[in-house]
Structure 1
Amino acid sequence: MSDISIIKVSPENFPDFVSLIRELADYEKLTPPDADAVLRLKEDAFSENPKYEAYLSFLDEIPVGYITFYFTYSTFLAKPTLYLEDIFVSKDYRKMGIGGMFFDFCRNVAKERGCGRMDWTVLTWNQPSIDFYENRGAERQDWYLYRIEGDSL
């Protein structure tokens, strides 16, 4: 078995992180972060009060995936919620258990930090991801996702 590790994103491996974000954007048919967004990603990850946490997965020292998450708060549970923003594994490295390792990593972080739950969204067309989550005990919620961005904000 090859050596798989999960390591926090650092200034040194940040370029690998950005490369994988661009790969996810391509997969999801979205616009990748521009140069200004990349600078904000770096500032927000390494500031005194980081806005999110990011981890890379390495397989034999090759960066093959990443996760990002941050915390929100449930007033009903009166506990924090780990919000899983991204979980991504490069196409050539899927079906090797890396996604499951990432998911378990997030579950453990949520438990260690006293969260009452984990939340995330999945694109409606992304059946492999839907199956992945449902096979791990996740249940689809009856909520609509709304967004305001850009000039509408």
Structure 2
Amino acid sequence: MDERHPVGTTAIDNGSSALYDSASQSGGLLFSGACNSQAVKDIDVRRTIPADANSLAVLWAEMQRHYGQPVNDTTAKAAATAACRFSDNEFNPRTFVAISRKDGLVASLVLNVTFPARELSKSLYIRDLYVSKDWRRFGIARSLLQAAASLTITEGFSSLDWTTDANNVGARSLYEGAGAREMTRVYYRLYGTDLELASLA
């Protein structure tokens, strides 16, 4: 299964398409079960620190090549450094990484803050999830998503939202099996020439 599960470029507006609601009656995490594989037992999931920047740059360069959008080393390092920089700004992205005790940094998940969400609250949006090629099918994506759900609760966000391609059967099975609800939404994107033309309209 491909564990990047691409998402859109803009967060869900007004929180009306929440896939996980931290104020629900259950009040629990999105994922109640843990993977028992030895691979996941040897993985630590945590927030990024500045020392992760070089390893995260390598992972993100792999990610960009995998999706046919390669970037140079300078671009990858700049993005990774920004993701690993400490900030107490409540609107800054939150980034999780999965660290193998043997192979180092093998996966990442990036969360953006959405505002205003439901009832003028703030919510979290999974902008990107990527697991390195050799570390897929071990439950790492599930562990990262559980960390994101936990953060949603502990930091007081109203919901956790994300998207995936409609034909990404593996991703949808993972999400729906974990209790996430599919929402009726149509996404739009302005990019390249279309964006330029729209700015002139």
Please, what TM-score do these two structures have when normalized by structure 1?
Answer: 0.82
1:79 corresponds, among 92, 99, 121, to 121
Q: Which runs of 5+ in 1 are unaligned?
A: none
The answer on whether the counterparts of 1:9 and 1:17 sit within 8 Å (CA) in structure 2 is: no
The structure whose residues are more often strand, as a share, is 1
Matched, 1:59 2:100: yes
Q: Counterpart in 1 of 2:85? A: 46
In structure 1, what residue type is equivalent to 2:50? P
The answer on whether the counterparts of 1:45 and 1:52 sit within 8 Å (CA) in structure 2 is: no
What secondary structure is seen at the aligned counterpart in 1 of 2:60?
helix
2:186 corresponds, among 137, 144, 150, to 144
The answer on whether the counterparts of 2:54 and 2:80 sit within 8 Å (CA) in structure 1 is: no
Matched, 1:91 2:108: no
Structure 1 position 57, deviation (Å)? 0.4
| Residues 1-153 of structure 1: pairs in structure 2 closer than 5 A | 1=38, 2-27=41-66, 29-34=67-72, 35-36=74-75, 38-43=77-82, 45-46=84-85, 48=87, 49=89, 51-62=92-103, 63-150=105-192, 152=196
Q: Counterpart in 1 of 2:21? A: none
The size of the alignment, in residue pairs, is: 152
Please, what TM-score do these two structures have when normalized by structure 2?
Answer: 0.65
- Who wins on radius of gyration, i.e. which is larger? 2
The alignment's C-alpha RMSD in Å is 2.4
Structure 1 position 105, deviation (Å)? 0.3
1:17–1:108 Cα change, 3 Å = same
Structure 1 position 45, deviation (Å)? 4.7
The answer on whether the counterparts of 1:68 and 1:86 sit within 8 Å (CA) in structure 2 is: yes
Alignment partners' CA distance in 2, 1:75 and 1:94: 32
Alignment partners' CA distance in 2, 1:44 and 1:107: 19
